[in-house]
């Protein structure tokens, strides 16, 4: 639809500001006004009566805008209400201050003339209104992310920032949007956190800016769109050139003389840089040219010239040439020593004044030396601090054996200092040690495997960090839980209690289940598992005890056996042997009859019983539940609020009715697990109102469905929704990416550097050009002149 | 497995296991003893192999002609100072690391069986070495048979199903039949060069070590190696002039990084030469010279003085030593300022030693190696004699593999090659594959850093022994200290298959060494220029398929391995500690990421939580840690650092939130009865 306009604008652009000032502002009579409305065109019309000096000024601007808006098919007119009393519009009190934008006879918007105070404001506001559906405005990063998400793989995004609407930059952006609106998704902001998101440090000081987000070629939803910053001032002409540059190939190649070569960039009024490639290093030169082209994208056209054998001119002497866009500029030859030189040349030429992006650029270039591993970086940031290892006993080759054989429990962390993960865990470990300082018979110790390598290999440590639990007379028990302060602390305390607690009467058993007996640390609120055995079930008891030993630290275990237990079980009408599981004090326990065959089977059963049917997902427990590989029916909720409790109860209800067997119903508390926020945002592209119910087919189809916020969250509606999702009637709101994680930063290719700096150094020898000196592979020491072998060489023996 | 190898393995067991060895009883003449493994020579290499054979419970015997171990050291070096360093204090407790600076100890599992127990001198007395070896034999209870002087070795190749074995005959005519023969006889036959008058020359092996005997004498030493300089240094305080003559200019170990070149501990003569104090160095071919005796004019000396001249100047009679030498036969007559025109009282030959080929029957004799002027036997990359299957050469004599390139001719080097050969034997004859550590791929980076920072084998045997990492995708097999020249034969030698994803090889290497060793710019500190490192530094080679013999043969000049798919140099480090996050760890990680084509970054549990809920394929680190319930939680401070760095999305941390401690309403209500009877069918 804009195709023809594109042509017009392109043609007009250079002349725009020099065109002759032919009056374009019509004054309408009542008749011509009606005719205008009926013609169905867009028109911007001012209704006025007297002409004050202020109004006169406005009319001048209006006249200028007539010329500009004509290019966009919008006619501009004024109606003198004293002459032509158009009803409805001339009637108003405020008639002096208003102008209207019509599409046919429909009013799209009215403007106060304080808003459309000059030609720029008029053009920008009018076009903004016309393009209301095409240009999105955003304030917060989530909105931009959501747009990006939808754009990935489809369309590139032009993101513009202006300090206020109506400024010349706004006009430039709107004019561009008018022309390129079908090609790119235009997004506008007037500041706010979204700029920080794009890396602007001080958004308030930024007059205007433009970013081109390359989303079209992004195939994986998890990837960010890379962006190119427009470095020149935001004017219509610059913007046009910039967008044209986004559309031409990043790099072109040619074999002609640079003086004669005709490239697309020459017509775009940008500097053109020619790089000369040598035939034997063509691939490498191309890589260099590409990286340079990326850095100069939008500013400079880069052409790779293949140096053939024929041209004996300057291309042999220099490695580059450039031509500036100014009229009559000549081709200049130059030799760059580095990519940096080239960038500098154009940055200084095109941006004489200091530019805020320079720092950003250097960072980008130094990306190889920036740690991009969050664990490594966070540990590195603490490099000035000395860890206080005092609460942790540092073991050596001499003290290790004695230390782990002592009474009680010794938890040993095996670590290496160069491993950031180890050092992060060591910090948590010290915190646990500090917290357990006063607990009798528990010692936390560490072994530096970089130093005591023998100790670590004797303990068969082949990965770092590793925590082993030592008890005298027992094999070391590997800690298999989360390596964090809370988890470790909990594990050590729980595994340190008598396991299982032996109970002798029903009341004790009852108190145990309610959290009263043998509980050293009730604040941990562990799940309590009671093994209930009848008389003469001793083999079962020993299986149970073995299983409990392996599960130490994961729950609180009790054992009640014998005649009393039998009686009690009868009262509870439970078949023996059985497990009673209690999750919460005051909540009645569940009983599970068991058939004991092997420790491993019992272990699996208990582990399964420890899982909750409707868990709150946390960072710590998620892996346990993901193992079920079921679609997640996931409720995101925040603190308090009746809505959350209600929603939980509704889902609970469905669960108890057995209607959610195919799913894993679960929920995330946004307060306790703030990471849930970005999960939800990734699922939907925005943050909806909480509580939000989402079905995530994480391990099945990979699709994500959002329960419509407008529907009440009730058992029935949820069930209905699940059915329609299953029958394919619901549209998914997002997908779980299944892309693989490829390296975030390319590696530093030493081979190509060698090939460039020392051709032949890294090349396989050509057997045809073999010299006499190469008799065998063991004689390649360049330092030994094989032709004059000397007999005097000694061994040191 | 190669069928031929199976065959040998069967043969070995069938032939040799039933016969036991009783070393106490002197053997009757003409009797034959059989062993799976015979080790020839109880020097450091033989004992080192003995230890590994004993450790793997193999049927072996070490045969030694002298009455104790390491007899070479009872006599050599003549001036009794070992120049292998005995560094006792390294500031570290890591035993493996300490071996990087202990050049004398042999390998064993005993942490205290180290040379420092015997001597605490940095350059120890040579007598200490046999004492150390005796202790090693005793404490490890190695089976050494002393006083057995093997005079001949021949191959027994009956053909058919039984493989080749070797028959050794001692001075009494007793025979030893050996399934595998491990020759660790060292280098002890003095090397000689034939020239006119070589009979007038004394040898390093027989000279007097009493400096007083050289009082005011002019001495010409042939050779410029450590024995020549050691001799010069010993006599320079008494002799009038000491000149050293050999074809090549002196090569300094601290310039070449080759410990066989002149060590600074022996180089005092360089000082007196450069300060013009009557000593000097001259270059020239040894084959062209002649040493002649001329009677010293009227003053009748006891013995005539010795002149160095050139064969071409001698007349026929003088060449045969039959007539007196005329003045015209001396170079000084023709060129009045010829450097060596003055006569010498003594000429001493210090030209090193060669392998004793003479005991080998032609059926069992390894060929002369190409390097080192044929002084050493020619060997395959896994130290088996070329053309002598089941005969391996260990120790100094095996130096032909890395002559002047690495440390394989020295105790601190060959103790590792012996271990490598033992692993080859275990695989070939007992189908026991090369030991490998299986690592999750997310752990590979820290494991490589561990090896790079402590492993002594690749450090001492730089460019020769390398760690091999077989890339299976989510896990790797890590093989230590493989002889990398044998890479094309990896599968047969190690018993491991090469996975589709290829393999990595970790080698320590010195650099190009183009600079002045002590000059400016000798050290590189920028990691992006690591490939220009001059000092020892780790290098990783990545191949997507095993290189062939052809690739290996045509590898780039000066390289230990063929051109790989990708290579990574870790920049040399002044402290040899390659553990820094920006210069060492991250570039290495990116290289590994390239080889595995996957992101190998570590993530906190919180990030893994996000990835696990929003991606069907979370990063490897999350899959191998977090999703196996072993996430790295980190504390609030660290996570905040990560947020500040923009590596984790920013939001309020949960740490300071008050936990909701009320009973959640969605839990089963207390009123609900005990849900009973859920019967798990186990």
Q: Last residue of some domain: A560, A581, A609? A: A609
Distance from CA of A232 to the nearest CA of B (A): 27
Identify whether residues A226 and A279 lie together within a single domain. no
Choose among B260, B603, B653: nearest Cβ to A374: B603
Residue A614 inside a domain? The answer is no
- CB-based contact A424 B353, cutoff 8 Å: no
- CB-based contact A425 B632, cutoff 8 Å: yes
**φ, ψ dihedrals at B32, nearest 5°:** -125, 130
Identify whether residues A575 and A524 lie together within a single domain. yes
Highest mean pLDDT among A592-606, A629-643, B429-443: B429-443
Choose among B93, B409, B581: nearest Cβ to A451: B93
Burial A672-706 (b: 16+ CB within 10 A, else e): bbbbbbbbbbbbbbebbebbbbbbbbbeeebbbbb
Confidence class for position A790, pLDDT limits 50, 70, 90: very low
Q: Is A68 an interface residue toward B (CB < 8 Å)?
A: no
Give all strands (DSSP E) within A647-757, no chain letters. Answer: 664-669, 692-696, 703-706, 734-735
Q: DSSP of B133-145, one letter per residue?
A: HHHHHHHHT--EE
Confidence class for position B7, pLDDT limits 50, 70, 90: very low
Identify whether residues A111 and A136 lie together within a single domain. no
A758 CA to centre of own chain: 40
Identify whether residues A146 and A107 lie together within a single domain. no
Query: Is the confidence at residue B671, as pLDDT, over 80?
Result: no
**In chain B, helix, strand, coil percent, each to 5?**
30, 20, 50
Contact A397, A454 (CB under 8 A): yes
Residue A631 inside a domain? The answer is yes
Q: What is the pTM of this model?
A: 0.74
The interface pTM score, or ipTM, of the predicted complex is 0.87
Identify whether residues A263 and A314 lie together within a single domain. yes
Taking contacts as CB-CB distances below 8 angstroms, the residues of chain A near B255 are none
Residue A372 inside a domain? The answer is no
* Mean pLDDT, range B363-374, rounded to an integer: 87
Residue A139 inside a domain? The answer is yes
Query: Is the confidence at residue A427, as pLDDT, over 80?
Result: yes
- CB-based contact A463 B569, cutoff 8 Å: no
Contact B364, B166 (CB under 8 A): yes
CA-based nearest residue in chain A for residue B550:
A767
Give the domain range for residue A572: 497-609
Q: Report d(CA A540, CA B392) in Å as an integer.
A: 60
- CB-based contact A698 B613, cutoff 8 Å: yes
Between A372 and A737, name the one with better pLDDT.
Answer: A372
- CB-based contact A778 B553, cutoff 8 Å: no
Task: Collapse the DSSP code of A738 into the 3-class scheme (helix H, G, I; strand E, B; otherwise coil) and give the result.
Answer: coil
Identify whether residues A283 and A334 lie together within a single domain. yes
Identify whether residues A273 and A333 lie together within a single domain. yes
Q: What is the pLDDT of residue A566?
A: 84
**φ, ψ dihedrals at A252, nearest 5°:** -115, 160
CA angle in degrees (0–180, nearest 5) for B257-B259-B265: 105
* Mean pLDDT, range A567-593, rounded to an integer: 80
Q: Is A719 an interface residue toward B (CB < 8 Å)?
A: no
Task: Mutation target for A interface from B613, B660, B679, B680: give the one with most A CBs within 10 A.
Answer: B613
Q: What is the pLDDT of residue A117?
A: 84
Identify whether residues A188 and A263 lie together within a single domain. no
Q: Is A753 an interface residue toward B (CB < 8 Å)?
A: yes
Task: Collapse the DSSP code of B75 into the 3-class scheme (helix H, G, I; strand E, B; otherwise coil) and give the result.
Answer: helix
- CB-based contact B446 A418, cutoff 8 Å: yes
Q: What is the pLDDT of residue A13?
A: 42
pLDDT tens-digit map of B136-174: 999 999 999 999 999 999 998 776 556 789 999 999 999
Partners of residue A578 on adjacent β-strands = A532, A593
- CB-based contact B665 A740, cutoff 8 Å: no
Residues 6+ apart with CB under 8 A from A292: A273, A275, A302, A339, A342, A343
B603 vs A668, B441, B598, CA distance in Å?
21, 15, 14
- CB-based contact B370 A775, cutoff 8 Å: yes
Q: Is A427 an interface residue toward B (CB < 8 Å)?
A: yes
Identify whether residues A450 and A536 lie together within a single domain. no
Q: Is A795 an interface residue toward B (CB < 8 Å)?
A: yes
Query: Is the confidence at residue B377, as pLDDT, over 50?
Result: yes
Q: Report d(CA A174, CA A127) in Å as an integer.
A: 6
Identify whether residues A589 and A627 lie together within a single domain. no
**CATH number, domain at A69?**
3.40.30.10
Work out the mean pLDDT of chain B and round it to a whole number.
Answer: 88
Taking contacts as CB-CB distances below 8 angstroms, the residues of chain B near A486 are 633
Taking phi over 0 as left and psi of -120 to 50 as alpha, with beta for the rest, A408 belongs to: left
Q: Report d(CA A207, CA A649) in Å as an integer.
A: 52
Residue A358 inside a domain? The answer is no
Identify whether residues A504 and A467 lie together within a single domain. no
Taking contacts as CB-CB distances below 8 angstroms, the residues of chain A near B556 are 760-765
- CB-based contact B651 A678, cutoff 8 Å: yes
Task: Mutation target for B interface from A454, A483, A571, A790: give the one with most B CBs within 10 A.
Answer: A790
Residue A380 inside a domain? The answer is no
Domain tally, chain A: 6
Taking contacts as CB-CB distances below 8 angstroms, the residues of chain B near A397 are 93, 111
Residue A547 inside a domain? The answer is yes
Residues 6+ apart with CB under 8 A from A671: A638, A639, B654, B657
Task: Collapse the DSSP code of B447 into the 3-class scheme (helix H, G, I; strand E, B; otherwise coil) and give the result.
Answer: helix
Q: What is the pLDDT of residue B157?
A: 78
Q: Report d(CA B452, CA B507) in Å as an integer.
A: 9
Distance from CA of A482 to the nearest CA of B (A): 4
Highest mean pLDDT among A33-42, A71-80, A342-351, A430-439: A430-439
Choose among B260, B558, B604: nearest Cβ to A375: B604
Identify whether residues A223 and A261 lie together within a single domain. no
- CB-based contact B665 A645, cutoff 8 Å: yes
Distance from CA of A210 to the nearest CA of B (A): 22
- CB-based contact B531 A750, cutoff 8 Å: yes
pLDDT tens-digit map of B411-428: 999 999 999 999 999 999
Between A363 and A84, name the one with better pLDDT.
Answer: A84
Highest mean pLDDT among A256-265, A403-412, A523-532, B514-523: A403-412
Q: Is A716 an interface residue toward B (CB < 8 Å)?
A: no
pLDDT tens-digit map of B552-589: 999 999 899 999 999 999 999 999 999 999 999 999 99
Taking contacts as CB-CB distances below 8 angstroms, the residues of chain B near A782 are 557-558
* Mean pLDDT, range A210-239, rounded to an integer: 83
Contact A331, A303 (CB under 8 A): no
pLDDT tens-digit map of A89-114: 777 666 677 888 888 888 888 888 88
Query: Is the confidence at residue B400, as pLDDT, over 60?
Result: yes
Residue A168 inside a domain? The answer is yes
Confidence class for position B651, pLDDT limits 50, 70, 90: low
Highest mean pLDDT among A155-164, A268-277, A320-329, A352-361: A155-164
Taking contacts as CB-CB distances below 8 angstroms, the residues of chain B near A586 are 663, 670
Q: Last residue of some domain: A735, A761, A784? A: A735
Q: What is the pLDDT of residue B12?
A: 42
Q: Last residue of some domain: A118, A142, A157? A: A118
pLDDT tens-digit map of A623-653: 999 988 899 999 998 876 677 778 888 888 8
Q: What is the pLDDT of residue A245?
A: 86
């Amino acid at each position: 639809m804009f195709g023809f306009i594109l042509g017009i604008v392109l043609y007009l652009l250079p002349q725009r500001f020099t065109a002759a000032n032919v009056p374009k502002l019509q004054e309408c009579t009542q008749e011509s006004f009606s005719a205008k409305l009926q013609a169905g065109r867009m028109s911007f019309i001012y209704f006025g009566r007297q002409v004050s000096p202020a109004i006169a000024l406005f009319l001048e601007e209006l006249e200028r805008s007539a010329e500009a808006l004509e290019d966009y098919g919008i006619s501009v007119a004024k109606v003198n209400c004293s002459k032509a009393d158009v009803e409805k519009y001339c009637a108003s009190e405020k008639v002096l201050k208003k102008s209207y934008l019509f599409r046919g006879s429909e009013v799209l918007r009215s403007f106060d003339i304080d808003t459309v105070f000059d030609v720029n404001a008029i053009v920008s506001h009018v076009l903004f209104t016309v393009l209301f559906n095409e240009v999105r405005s955003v304030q917060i990063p989530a909105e931009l992310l959501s747009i990006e998400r939808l754009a990935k793989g489809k369309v590139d995004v032009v993101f513009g920032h202006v300090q206020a609407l109506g400024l010349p930059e706004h006009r430039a952006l709107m004019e561009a949007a008018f022309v390129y609106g079908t090609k790119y998704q235009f997004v506008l902001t007037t500041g706010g956190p979204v700029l920080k998101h794009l890396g602007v440090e001080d958004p308030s000081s930024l007059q205007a800016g433009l970013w081109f987000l390359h989303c079209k070629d992004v195939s994986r939803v998890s990837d960010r769109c890379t962006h190119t910053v427009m470095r020149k001032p935001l004017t219509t002409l610059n913007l046009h050139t910039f967008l044209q540059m986004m559309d031409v190939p990043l790099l072109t190649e040619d074999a002609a003389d640079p003086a004669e070569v005709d490239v697309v960039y020459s017509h775009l009024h940008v500097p053109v840089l020619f790089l000369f490639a040598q035939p034997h290093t063509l691939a490498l030169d191309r890589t260099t040219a590409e990286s340079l082209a990326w850095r100069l994208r939008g500013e400079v056209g880069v052409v790779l010239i293949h140096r053939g054998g024929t041209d004996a001119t300057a291309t042999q002497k220099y490695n580059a040439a450039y031509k500036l866009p100014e009229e009559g500029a000549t081709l200049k030859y130059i030799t760059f020593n580095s990519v940096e030189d080239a960038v500098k040349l154009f940055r200084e030429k095109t941006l004489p004044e200091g530019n805020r992006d320079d720092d950003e650029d250097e960072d980008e270039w130094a990306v190889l030396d920036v740690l991009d591993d969050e664990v490594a970086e966070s540990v590195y940031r603490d490099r000035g601090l000395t860890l206080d290892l005092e609460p942790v006993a540092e073991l050596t080759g001499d003290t290790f054996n004695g230390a782990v054989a002592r009474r009680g429990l010794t938890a040993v962390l095996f670590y290496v200092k160069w491993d950031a993960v180890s050092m992060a865990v060591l910090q948590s470990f010290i915190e646990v040690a500090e917290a357990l300082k006063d607990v009798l018979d528990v010692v936390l110790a560490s072994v530096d495997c970089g130093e005591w390598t023998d100790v670590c290999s004797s303990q068969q440590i082949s990965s770092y960090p590793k925590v082993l639990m030592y008890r005298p007379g027992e094999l070391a028990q590997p800690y298999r839980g989360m390596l964090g302060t809370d988890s470790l602390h909990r594990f050590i305390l729980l595994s340190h209690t008598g396991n299982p607690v032996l109970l002798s009467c029903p009341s004790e058993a009852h108190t145990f289940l309610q959290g009263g007996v043998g509980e050293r640390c009730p604040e941990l609120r562990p799940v309590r598992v009671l093994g209930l055995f009848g008389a003469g079930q001793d083999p079962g008891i020993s299986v149970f005890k073995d299983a409990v030993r392996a599960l130490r630290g994961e729950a609180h275990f009790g054992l009640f056996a014998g005649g009393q237990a039998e009686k009690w079980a009868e009262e509870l009408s439970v078949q023996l042997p059985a497990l009673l599981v209690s999750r919460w004090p005051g909540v009645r326990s569940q009983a599970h009859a068991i058939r004991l065959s092997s420790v491993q089977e019992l272990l699996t059963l208990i582990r399964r019983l420890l899982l909750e049917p409707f868990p709150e997902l946390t960072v710590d427990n998620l892996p346990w539940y993901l193992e079920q590989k079921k679609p997640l029916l996931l409720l995101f909720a925040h603190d308090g609020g009746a809505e959350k409790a209600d929603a939980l109860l509704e889902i609970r209800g469905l669960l108890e009715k057995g209607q959610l067997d195919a799913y894993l119903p679960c929920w995330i508390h946004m307060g306790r697990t703030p990471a849930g926020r970005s999960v939800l945002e990734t699922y939907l592209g925005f943050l909806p109102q909480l509580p939000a119910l989402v079905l995530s087919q994480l391990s099945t189809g990979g699709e994500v469905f959002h329960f419509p916020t407008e529907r009440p969250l009730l058992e029935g509606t949820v069930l209905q929704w699940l059915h329609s999702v299953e029958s394919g009637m619901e549209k998914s709101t997002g997908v779980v990416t299944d892309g693989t994680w490829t390296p975030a930063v390319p590696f530093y290719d030493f081979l190509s550097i060698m090939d460039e700096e020392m051709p032949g150094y890294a090349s396989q020898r050509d057997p045809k050009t073999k010299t006499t000196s190469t008799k065998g592979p063991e004689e390649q020491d360049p330092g030994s002149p094989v032709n004059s072998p000397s007999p005097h060489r000694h061994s040191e023996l | 497995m190669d069928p031929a190898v199976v065959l040998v393995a069967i043969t070995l067991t069938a032939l040799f296991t039933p016969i036991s060895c009783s070393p106490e009883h002197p053997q009757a003449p003409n009797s034959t003893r059989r062993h799976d493994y015979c080790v020839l020579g109880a020097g450091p290499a033989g004992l080192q192999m003995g230890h590994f054979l004993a450790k793997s419970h193999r049927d072996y015997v070490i045969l030694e002609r002298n009455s104790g171990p390491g007899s070479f050291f009872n006599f050599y070096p003549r001036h009794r100072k070992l120049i292998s360093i005995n560094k006792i204090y390294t500031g570290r407790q890591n035993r493996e690391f300490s071996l990087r600076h202990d050049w004398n100890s042999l390998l064993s599992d005993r942490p205290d069986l180290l040379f420092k127990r015997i001597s605490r001198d940095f350059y120890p007395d040579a007598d200490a070495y046999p004492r150390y070896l005796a202790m090693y034999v005793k404490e490890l209870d190695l089976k050494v048979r002393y006083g057995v002087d093997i005079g001949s070795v021949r191959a027994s190749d009956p053909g058919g199903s039984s493989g080749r074995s070797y028959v050794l005959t001692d001075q009494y005519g007793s025979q030893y039949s050996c399934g595998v023969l491990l020759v660790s006889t060292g280098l002890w036959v003095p090397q000689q060069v034939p020239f006119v008058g070589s009979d007038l020359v004394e040898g390093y092996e027989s000279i007097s070590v009493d400096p007083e005997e050289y009082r005011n004498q002019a001495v010409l030493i042939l050779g410029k190696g450590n024995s020549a300089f050691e001799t010069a240094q010993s006599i320079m305080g008494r002799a009038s002039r000491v000149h050293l003559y050999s074809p090549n200019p002196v090569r300094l170990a601290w310039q070449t990084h080759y410990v066989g070149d002149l060590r600074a501990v022996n180089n005092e003569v360089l000082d007196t030469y450069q300060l013009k104090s009557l000593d000097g160095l001259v270059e020239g071919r040894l084959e062209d010279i002649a040493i002649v005796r001329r009677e010293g004019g009227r003053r009748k000396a006891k013995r005539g003085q010795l002149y160095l001249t050139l064969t071409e100047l001698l007349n026929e009679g003088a060449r045969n030593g039959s007539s007196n030498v005329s003045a015209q036969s001396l170079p000084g007559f023709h060129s009045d300022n010829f450097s060596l025109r003055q006569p010498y009282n003594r000429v001493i030959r210090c030209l090193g030693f060669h392998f004793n080929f003479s005991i080998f029957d032609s059926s069992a004799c390894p060929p002369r190696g190409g390097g080192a002027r044929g002084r050493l036997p020619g060997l395959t990359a896994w130290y088996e004699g070329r053309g002598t299957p089941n005969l391996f050469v260990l120790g100094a004599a095996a130096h032909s593999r890395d002559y002047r390139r690495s440390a394989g001719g020295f105790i601190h080097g060959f103790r590792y090659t012996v271990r490598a050969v033992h692993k080859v034997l275990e695989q070939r004859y007992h189908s026991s594959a090369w030991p490998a550590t299986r690592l999750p791929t997310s752990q590979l980076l820290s494991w490589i850093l561990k090896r790079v920072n402590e492993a002594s084998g690749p450090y001492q045997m730089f460019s020769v022994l390398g760690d091999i990492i077989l890339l299976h995708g989510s896990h790797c097999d890590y093989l230590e200290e493989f002889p990398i020249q044998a890479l094309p034969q990896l599968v047969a030698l190690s018993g491991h298959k090469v996975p589709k994803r290829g393999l990595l090889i970790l080698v320590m290497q010195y650099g190009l060494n183009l600079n002045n060793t002590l000059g400016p710019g000798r050290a590189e500190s920028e990691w992006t220029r690591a490939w220009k490192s001059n000092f020892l530094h780790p290098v990783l080679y990545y191949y997507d398929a095993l290189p062939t013999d052809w690739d290996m043969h045509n590898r780039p000049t000066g390289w230990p391995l063929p051109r790989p798919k990708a290579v990574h140099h870790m920049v040399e480090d002044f402290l040899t500690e390659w553990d820094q996050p920006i210069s060492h760890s991250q570039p290495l990680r990116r290289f590994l990421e390239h080889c595995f084509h996957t992101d190998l970054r570590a993530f906190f549990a919180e990030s893994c939580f996000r990835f696990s809920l929003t991606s069907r394929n979370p990063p490897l680190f999350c899959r191998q840690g977090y999703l196996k319930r072993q996430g790295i939680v980190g504390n609030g401070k660290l996570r905040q650092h990560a947020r500040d760095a923009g590596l984790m999305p920013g939001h309020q941390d949960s740490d300071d939130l008050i936990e909701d401690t009320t009973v959640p309403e969605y839990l089963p209500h207390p009123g609900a009865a005990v849900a009973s009877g859920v019967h798990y069918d186990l």
